[in-house]
Amino acid sequence: MSSPRFKATELAISRPVEDMEKVESLKATSIYGKNVFTTAKMKDYLSKSTYKELIQLIGESSKISRELADQIAQAMKTWAIANGASHYTHWFQPLTGTTAEKHDAFFEPDENGEAIEKFSGDSLVQQEPDASSFPSGGIRNTFEARGYTAWDPSSPAFIFETAAGKTLCIPTVFISYTGEALDYKAPLLKAVAAIDKAATEVVQYFDKSVTQVNASLSIEQKYFLVEISLFHTRTELQITLCTLS
Protein backbone atom coordinates (compact mmCIF):
# COMPACT_ATOMS: atom_id res chain seq x y z
CA MET A 1 0.00 0.00 0.00
CA SER A 2 1.58 3.31 -1.11
CA SER A 3 1.87 6.25 1.24
CA PRO A 4 -0.11 9.52 0.75
CA ARG A 5 3.12 11.18 -0.38
CA PHE A 6 3.63 8.67 -3.20
CA LYS A 7 -0.05 8.95 -4.19
CA ALA A 8 0.28 12.74 -4.40
CA THR A 9 3.37 12.38 -6.57
CA GLU A 10 1.61 9.92 -8.89
CA LEU A 11 -1.36 12.28 -9.25
CA ALA A 12 0.93 15.22 -10.05
CA ILE A 13 2.80 13.21 -12.70
CA SER A 14 -0.41 11.93 -14.30
CA ARG A 15 -2.00 15.40 -14.70
CA PRO A 16 -2.68 16.36 -18.34
CA VAL A 17 -0.06 18.58 -19.93
CA GLU A 18 -2.62 21.26 -20.82
CA ASP A 19 -3.60 21.63 -17.15
CA MET A 20 0.02 22.09 -16.13
CA GLU A 21 0.51 24.72 -18.83
CA LYS A 22 -2.54 26.58 -17.60
CA VAL A 23 -1.27 26.60 -14.02
CA GLU A 24 2.19 27.76 -15.12
CA SER A 25 0.67 30.64 -17.10
CA LEU A 26 -1.00 32.06 -13.98
CA LYS A 27 0.87 34.66 -12.00
CA ALA A 28 1.10 33.95 -8.29
CA THR A 29 0.04 37.53 -7.58
CA SER A 30 -3.21 36.99 -9.47
CA ILE A 31 -4.39 34.22 -7.14
CA TYR A 32 -2.60 35.00 -3.85
CA GLY A 33 -5.17 35.94 -1.20
CA LYS A 34 -7.98 35.76 -3.75
CA ASN A 35 -10.45 34.32 -1.23
CA VAL A 36 -9.31 36.41 1.74
CA PHE A 37 -11.10 39.58 2.89
CA THR A 38 -7.88 41.52 3.36
CA THR A 39 -7.57 45.12 4.49
CA ALA A 40 -6.99 46.06 0.83
CA LYS A 41 -10.37 44.54 -0.11
CA MET A 42 -12.01 46.19 2.93
CA LYS A 43 -10.89 49.53 1.53
CA ASP A 44 -12.88 48.83 -1.66
CA TYR A 45 -16.08 47.92 0.20
CA LEU A 46 -16.05 50.34 3.15
CA SER A 47 -16.34 54.11 3.26
CA LYS A 48 -13.08 55.98 3.79
CA SER A 49 -13.97 57.01 7.35
CA THR A 50 -15.21 53.52 8.31
CA TYR A 51 -12.08 51.87 6.91
CA LYS A 52 -9.81 54.30 8.76
CA GLU A 53 -11.66 53.73 12.03
CA LEU A 54 -11.53 49.93 11.65
CA ILE A 55 -7.78 49.86 10.93
CA GLN A 56 -7.14 52.11 13.94
CA LEU A 57 -9.25 49.93 16.26
CA ILE A 58 -7.56 46.73 15.05
CA GLY A 59 -4.14 48.28 15.60
CA GLU A 60 -5.10 49.39 19.11
CA SER A 61 -6.96 46.13 19.89
CA SER A 62 -9.93 48.29 20.89
CA LYS A 63 -13.61 47.41 21.01
CA ILE A 64 -15.61 47.78 17.79
CA SER A 65 -18.97 49.49 18.13
CA ARG A 66 -22.16 47.79 16.96
CA GLU A 67 -22.73 50.53 14.36
CA LEU A 68 -19.28 49.88 12.89
CA ALA A 69 -19.89 46.12 13.01
CA ASP A 70 -23.07 46.59 10.93
CA GLN A 71 -21.12 48.43 8.24
CA ILE A 72 -18.36 45.81 8.19
CA ALA A 73 -20.92 42.98 8.05
CA GLN A 74 -22.60 44.60 5.05
CA ALA A 75 -19.26 44.99 3.25
CA MET A 76 -18.22 41.42 4.12
CA LYS A 77 -21.52 40.02 2.86
CA THR A 78 -21.34 42.00 -0.40
CA TRP A 79 -17.78 40.80 -1.04
CA ALA A 80 -18.59 37.17 -0.16
CA ILE A 81 -21.71 36.97 -2.34
CA ALA A 82 -19.87 38.66 -5.22
CA ASN A 83 -17.31 35.85 -4.97
CA GLY A 84 -19.94 33.09 -5.01
CA ALA A 85 -20.46 32.40 -1.28
CA SER A 86 -23.98 31.41 -0.26
CA HIS A 87 -23.37 30.68 3.45
CA TYR A 88 -21.29 32.00 6.32
CA THR A 89 -19.86 30.36 9.41
CA HIS A 90 -18.02 31.33 12.56
CA TRP A 91 -14.84 29.28 12.30
CA PHE A 92 -13.08 28.29 15.52
CA GLN A 93 -10.74 25.72 17.09
CA PRO A 94 -12.41 23.97 20.05
CA LEU A 95 -10.56 21.73 22.49
CA THR A 96 -11.47 18.68 20.39
CA GLY A 97 -8.29 19.15 18.37
CA THR A 98 -10.09 19.97 15.11
CA THR A 99 -11.75 23.03 13.65
CA ALA A 100 -15.50 23.51 13.92
CA GLU A 101 -18.22 25.68 12.47
CA LYS A 102 -21.97 26.15 12.25
CA HIS A 103 -23.17 27.17 8.78
CA ASP A 104 -25.94 29.72 8.13
CA ALA A 105 -27.26 31.10 4.86
CA PHE A 106 -27.33 34.77 3.84
CA PHE A 107 -31.10 34.39 3.98
CA GLU A 108 -33.85 35.87 6.10
CA PRO A 109 -37.65 35.93 5.50
CA ASP A 110 -39.42 39.27 5.74
CA GLU A 111 -42.91 40.22 6.93
CA ASN A 112 -44.33 39.87 3.41
CA GLY A 113 -43.39 36.23 3.08
CA GLU A 114 -40.50 37.07 0.78
CA ALA A 115 -36.79 36.54 1.47
CA ILE A 116 -33.81 38.87 1.54
CA GLU A 117 -30.06 38.38 1.69
CA LYS A 118 -29.11 39.67 5.12
CA PHE A 119 -26.04 39.64 7.34
CA SER A 120 -26.00 42.08 10.27
CA GLY A 121 -23.41 43.19 12.81
CA ASP A 122 -25.19 41.02 15.39
CA SER A 123 -24.60 37.96 13.22
CA LEU A 124 -20.98 38.95 12.61
CA VAL A 125 -19.91 39.71 16.18
CA GLN A 126 -21.35 36.76 18.11
CA GLN A 127 -23.02 33.42 17.51
CA GLU A 128 -24.09 30.42 19.56
CA PRO A 129 -23.05 27.08 18.02
CA ASP A 130 -24.29 23.71 19.19
CA ALA A 131 -22.26 23.60 22.42
CA SER A 132 -23.39 20.08 23.26
CA SER A 133 -20.79 18.84 20.77
CA PHE A 134 -17.90 20.69 22.41
CA PRO A 135 -16.21 20.80 25.83
CA SER A 136 -18.35 22.91 28.19
CA GLY A 137 -15.93 23.21 31.10
CA GLY A 138 -17.56 20.61 33.34
CA ILE A 139 -21.06 20.00 34.74
CA ARG A 140 -23.17 23.16 34.47
CA ASN A 141 -26.75 24.34 34.50
CA THR A 142 -28.37 24.14 31.08
CA PHE A 143 -28.32 27.88 30.51
CA GLU A 144 -24.64 28.02 31.55
CA ALA A 145 -23.52 25.15 29.29
CA ARG A 146 -23.81 27.23 26.15
CA GLY A 147 -20.74 28.16 24.17
CA TYR A 148 -20.38 31.39 22.25
CA THR A 149 -18.21 32.40 19.33
CA ALA A 150 -16.89 35.97 19.30
CA TRP A 151 -15.48 37.56 16.15
CA ASP A 152 -11.71 38.10 16.09
CA PRO A 153 -11.11 41.16 13.85
CA SER A 154 -7.33 40.62 13.96
CA SER A 155 -7.72 37.62 11.61
CA PRO A 156 -9.18 38.22 8.12
CA ALA A 157 -12.34 36.44 7.01
CA PHE A 158 -11.93 34.07 4.07
CA ILE A 159 -13.97 32.00 1.64
CA PHE A 160 -13.62 28.23 1.92
CA GLU A 161 -14.28 26.61 -1.42
CA THR A 162 -15.35 22.99 -1.93
CA ALA A 163 -17.18 21.01 -4.60
CA ALA A 164 -20.40 21.66 -2.66
CA GLY A 165 -20.04 25.45 -2.80
CA LYS A 166 -18.38 28.42 -1.13
CA THR A 167 -18.68 29.50 2.51
CA LEU A 168 -17.56 32.73 4.17
CA CYS A 169 -15.48 31.72 7.21
CA ILE A 170 -15.25 34.28 10.02
CA PRO A 171 -12.36 33.57 12.45
CA THR A 172 -13.65 33.61 16.03
CA VAL A 173 -12.81 32.60 19.58
CA PHE A 174 -14.97 30.11 21.48
CA ILE A 175 -15.87 30.97 25.09
CA SER A 176 -18.23 29.70 27.77
CA TYR A 177 -21.19 31.45 29.39
CA THR A 178 -18.87 32.73 32.11
CA GLY A 179 -16.16 33.88 29.69
CA GLU A 180 -13.79 30.91 30.04
CA ALA A 181 -11.76 29.94 26.98
CA LEU A 182 -13.01 26.76 25.31
CA ASP A 183 -10.65 26.88 22.36
CA TYR A 184 -6.99 27.22 21.45
CA LYS A 185 -7.15 30.73 20.01
CA ALA A 186 -8.50 32.71 22.99
CA PRO A 187 -5.50 31.79 25.21
CA LEU A 188 -3.18 32.72 22.35
CA LEU A 189 -4.77 36.17 22.00
CA LYS A 190 -4.55 36.66 25.77
CA ALA A 191 -0.87 35.72 25.68
CA VAL A 192 -0.20 38.17 22.84
CA ALA A 193 -2.01 40.91 24.81
CA ALA A 194 0.06 40.13 27.93
CA ILE A 195 3.32 40.29 25.94
CA ASP A 196 2.20 43.57 24.37
CA LYS A 197 1.50 45.12 27.78
CA ALA A 198 4.76 43.94 29.38
CA ALA A 199 6.95 44.74 26.36
CA THR A 200 5.42 48.19 25.93
CA GLU A 201 6.23 49.08 29.54
CA VAL A 202 9.86 48.05 29.01
CA VAL A 203 10.22 49.85 25.65
CA GLN A 204 8.78 53.05 27.13
CA TYR A 205 11.85 53.32 29.35
CA PHE A 206 13.70 54.12 26.12
CA ASP A 207 10.97 55.66 23.96
CA LYS A 208 7.84 57.18 25.55
CA SER A 209 6.10 57.45 22.18
CA VAL A 210 5.74 53.66 21.82
CA THR A 211 2.20 52.59 22.72
CA GLN A 212 2.07 49.04 21.37
CA VAL A 213 4.36 46.08 20.68
CA ASN A 214 3.21 43.44 18.18
CA ALA A 215 4.56 39.96 18.84
CA SER A 216 4.72 37.37 16.09
CA LEU A 217 5.88 33.78 15.86
CA SER A 218 6.50 31.55 12.87
CA ILE A 219 8.21 28.31 11.94
CA GLU A 220 11.46 28.68 10.03
CA GLN A 221 13.47 25.95 8.36
CA LYS A 222 16.60 26.48 6.27
CA TYR A 223 18.68 24.17 4.11
CA PHE A 224 22.37 24.64 3.35
CA LEU A 225 24.39 22.89 0.68
CA VAL A 226 28.03 22.49 1.81
CA GLU A 227 30.97 21.10 -0.15
CA ILE A 228 32.31 17.81 1.21
CA SER A 229 35.78 19.31 1.74
CA LEU A 230 34.34 22.15 3.82
CA PHE A 231 32.12 19.70 5.68
CA HIS A 232 35.18 17.85 6.97
CA THR A 233 36.61 21.09 8.38
CA ARG A 234 33.48 21.79 10.46
CA THR A 235 33.25 19.58 13.53
CA GLU A 236 29.80 20.85 14.53
CA LEU A 237 28.37 19.84 11.15
CA GLN A 238 29.87 16.37 11.43
CA ILE A 239 28.35 15.96 14.90
CA THR A 240 24.84 17.16 14.02
CA LEU A 241 24.72 15.43 10.60
CA CYS A 242 22.42 18.15 9.29
CA THR A 243 24.23 18.87 6.04
CA LEU A 244 23.58 17.80 2.47
CA SER A 245 27.01 17.14 0.96
In a domain, 195, yes or no: no
In a domain, 218, yes or no: no
Residue numbers of the domain that contains 102: 33-180
The per-residue pLDDT string of the chain (245 residues; one tens digit each, 9 = 90 and over) reads 556 666 666 766 665 554 545 555 567 777 788 899 988 888 889 889 888 988 888 777 778 888 888 888 889 889 998 998 888 888 888 887 778 777 777 766 666 666 566 777 878 887 776 555 555 555 556 556 667 888 888 889 999 988 888 899 999 998 887 788 888 899 988 888 899 999 999 999 999 998 888 887 767 777 777 777 887 888 877 777 665 54
Total structural domains in the chain? 1
pTM: 0.67
In a domain, 3, yes or no: no
Q: Tally the residues of the chain.
A: 245
